[in-house]
Amino acid sequence: MRTHGPMRQQDAGVLVRGAMAAHPLAHPAARALAGVVTGAVAAALALFAVIMLASCGPSDARQSPRGAQGDRGDQGPRVQRVVTTTAHLADLVRVITGRRYGVGFTVEALMGEGVDPHTFKLTQSDTAKLTRADLILVNGLHLEGKMDEVLEQLARAGRRVVRLGERLRPEQVFSPEGAGGEPDPHFWMDPTAWSTAALAVERELSTLDPDGSQDYRVNAKDFMGELLELDRYAAEVLSSIEESRRVLITSHDAFGYLGRRYGLRVLGVQGLSTDSEAGVRDIARLVETIVTARVPAVFVETSVSDKAVRALVEGARARGHTVEIGGALFSDALGAPGTWEGTYLGMMDYNLSTIARALGGTVPEGGYRRLWLERRKP
């Protein structure tokens, strides 16, 4: 673990101590169905009731070894399935499992490239994946607004549902002014908060697969070190933007944690969620801010319509101020699988470079990726 950088070291200490609490895994499936079934989730619940009766049994692999590709009998513990809502969380599982990926665990994200989690609704196939999961990792803090009820039912059915947002320290949770105390769910934008999520995921994996716990601890510790480096890099790159230009205007309020951590004023056309037109702020008021502060660029997002941001550009033009679209930021989704932007670190790197360049700051050649690759040289 590297020791410089502004991030707290507390997580690393906790990691090394590595106290693993046991958790209750095996609840009778029937208990889930005793709850009140309402409205739109009824069909999905009926479906997973059928699947659960078919799969019939506890989700603890050590008690009930069954092969992921079929019955493996006494050939040892089967590969356990992790299902995540966002691709960010699936990336975390891949990084922490490392060489035990496909041995201890596999992972699948329900939300792919360009998918908006605020409006995401489960398909029957998604629900089936969730019912078969040994571990369900969720961002929480109401990011997955349309899934809350089904996730609660799954938890009541004995599925291990972990909402990472609930594992943050209270001071890590950001509740912006005017949100009525509602927490901002976009905590991955702060690498120090993401580090806390990494530690929580490591603990979950180690509990479910004690054979791999040594690997998971080492990998999580390495990744948390990498997050320290990212935190230091982000502070450096964003501070290269002239102070009066440190204004980040986007489609919706996904960058509050970034703004709090690195001193950017962050304004979204929509509020914390994208699911309601009622959250749309006064375009004229934002245009006023852009014109007055001579903001050089605004940003669209890969998972949200660009309509409102384009209205800002037009509004500013009508007032005689040219504001560019500085790029498409990865707000709530990662880039394409298999690309650098399809990883958490790559997504952050891309966003930092795009923001800094468009607002007049400087970005080191090769960005964060070059430094990351250099640290990997033997």
- Which has the closest alpha carbon to 125: 30, 39, 47? 47
Location of structure tokens 């609490």: 21
- Which has the closest alpha carbon to 202: 110, 111, 135? 135
Q: Which is nearer to Zn ion, 221 or 252 (CB)?
A: 252
Separation between Cα atoms, residue 329 and residue 256, nearest integer Å: 14
Q: Smallest gap, in angstroms, from Cβ of residue 211 to Zn ion?
A: 37
Q: Which is nearer to Zn ion, 84 or 213 (CB)?
A: 84
Q: Smallest gap, in angstroms, from Cβ of residue 256 to Zn ion?
A: 10
Residue 130 as a binder of Zn ion (CB under 5 A): the answer is no
- The DSSP call for residue 352 is H
Residue 188, CA distances (Å) to 83, 98, 105, 231, 256 in order: 18, 20, 23, 12, 11
Q: Which is nearer to Zn ion, 175 or 207 (CB)?
A: 175
Q: Smallest gap, in angstroms, from Cβ of residue 331 to Zn ion?
A: 6
Q: Smallest gap, in angstroms, from Cβ of residue 60 to Zn ion?
A: 34
Q: Smallest gap, in angstroms, from Cβ of residue 146 to Zn ion?
A: 13
Binders of Zn ion in range 345-364 (CB under 5 A): none
Helix (H, G, I), strand (E, B) or coil at 295: coil
Q: Which is nearer to Zn ion, 48 or 188 (CB)?
A: 188
Separation between Cα atoms, residue 141 and residue 185, nearest integer Å: 5
Q: Smallest gap, in angstroms, from Cβ of residue 300 to Zn ion?
A: 13
Write down the H helix ranges in the chain.
10-17, 42-55, 87-97, 124-132, 148-156, 191-208, 213-239, 256-262, 283-292, 307-318, 344-358, 367-375
Q: Which is nearer to Zn ion, 229 or 332 (CB)?
A: 332
Q: Which is nearer to Zn ion, 159 or 252 (CB)?
A: 252
Q: What pairs with residue 248 in β-bridges? A: 266
Q: Which is nearer to Zn ion, 205 or 286 (CB)?
A: 286
Q: Smallest gap, in angstroms, from Cβ of residue 266 to Zn ion?
A: 12
Single-letter amino acid, residue 295: V
Q: Smallest gap, in angstroms, from Cβ of residue 338 to Zn ion?
A: 24
Q: In this structure, how many other beta carbons lie within 10 angstroms of the beta carbon of residue 341?
A: 18
Q: Which is nearer to Zn ion, 226 or 332 (CB)?
A: 332
Q: Smallest gap, in angstroms, from Cβ of residue 92 to Zn ion?
A: 18
- The DSSP call for residue 101 is B
Contact between residue 84 and residue 115 where contact means Cβ atoms under 8 Å apart: no
Site string for Zn ion, 244-283 (x = CB under 5 A): ----------x-----------------------------
Our CA angle for 135, 140, 144, nearest 5°, is: 95
Contact between residue 189 and residue 174 where contact means Cβ atoms under 8 Å apart: no
Location of structure tokens 């992972």: 107
# residues contacting Zn ion (CB under 5 A): 2
Site string for Zn ion, 17-46 (x = CB under 5 A): ------------------------------
Location of structure tokens 């690195």: 262
Binders of Zn ion in range 326-345 (CB under 5 A): 332
Backbone angles phi, psi at 25, to 5 degrees: -105, -40
Q: Which is nearer to Zn ion, 184 or 215 (CB)?
A: 184
Where on the chain is the footprint of Zn ion (CB under 5 A)? Answer: 254, 332
